[in-house]
Amino acid sequence: MNAIYILWLREVKKYSRSRVQIIASLGQPLLYLLVLGFGLGPVFQRAGGGSYLQFMAPGIVGMAVLFTSVFSGIALLWDRQFGFLKETLVAPVPRINVMIGRTLGGATVAMLQGTLIMVVCLIAGFRPVSLIGIPLGFVFMAMIAIVFAALGTSIGSSLQDMQGFQLIMNFLVLPIFFLSGALFPLNNLPKALSFVTKLDPLSYGVDGLRAALTGSAHFGALLDAVVLAGVAVALLCLGAWRFSKIEI
Is the confidence at residue 49, as pLDDT, over 80? no
The whole-number average pLDDT for the span 71-79 is 73
pLDDT band at residue 229 using 50, 70 and 90 as cut-offs: very high
100: nearest Cα among 7, 234, 194: 7
Residue 12: per-residue pLDDT: 61
Give CA–CA dist 133/222, Å, rounded.
14
* pLDDT of amino acid 226: 94
Percent pLDDT > 90 in the chain is 15
Average pLDDT over residues 62-88: 75
- In a 13 Å sphere around the CA of 142, the CA atoms on its Cβ side amount to 8
Query: Quick check: 217 pLDDT over 80?
Result: yes
| Region for residue 161 given its phi and psi (left: phi exceeds 0; alpha: psi -120 to 50; beta: otherwise) | beta
100-116 burial, b at 16+ Cβ within 10 Å, e below that, comes to bbbbbbbbbbbbbbbeb
Indicate the range of 20-29, 71-80, 98-107, 125-134 predicted with least confidence: 20-29
Q: What pLDDT was estimated at residue 185? A: 85
Which of these, 56, 189, 202, lies nearest to 125 by C-alpha position?
Answer: 56
Segment of 74-78, 117-121, 156-160 carrying the highest mean pLDDT? 117-121
Instruction: Name the residue among 16, 11, 172, 142 with its Cα closest to residue 84.
Output: 11
Residue extents of the structural domains in the chain: 2-244
What confidence category does residue 53 fall into, taking pLDDT thresholds of 50, 70 and 90? confident
User: Can you list the alpha helix ranges (DSSP code H) found in the chain?
Assistant: 2-17, 19-25, 27-31, 37-39, 41-46, 52-70, 74-82, 84-89, 95-124, 133-158, 162-178, 191-199, 201-214, 221-244
Q: Is the pLDDT of residue 208 over 80?
A: yes
**pLDDT higher than threshold 80 for residue 243:** no
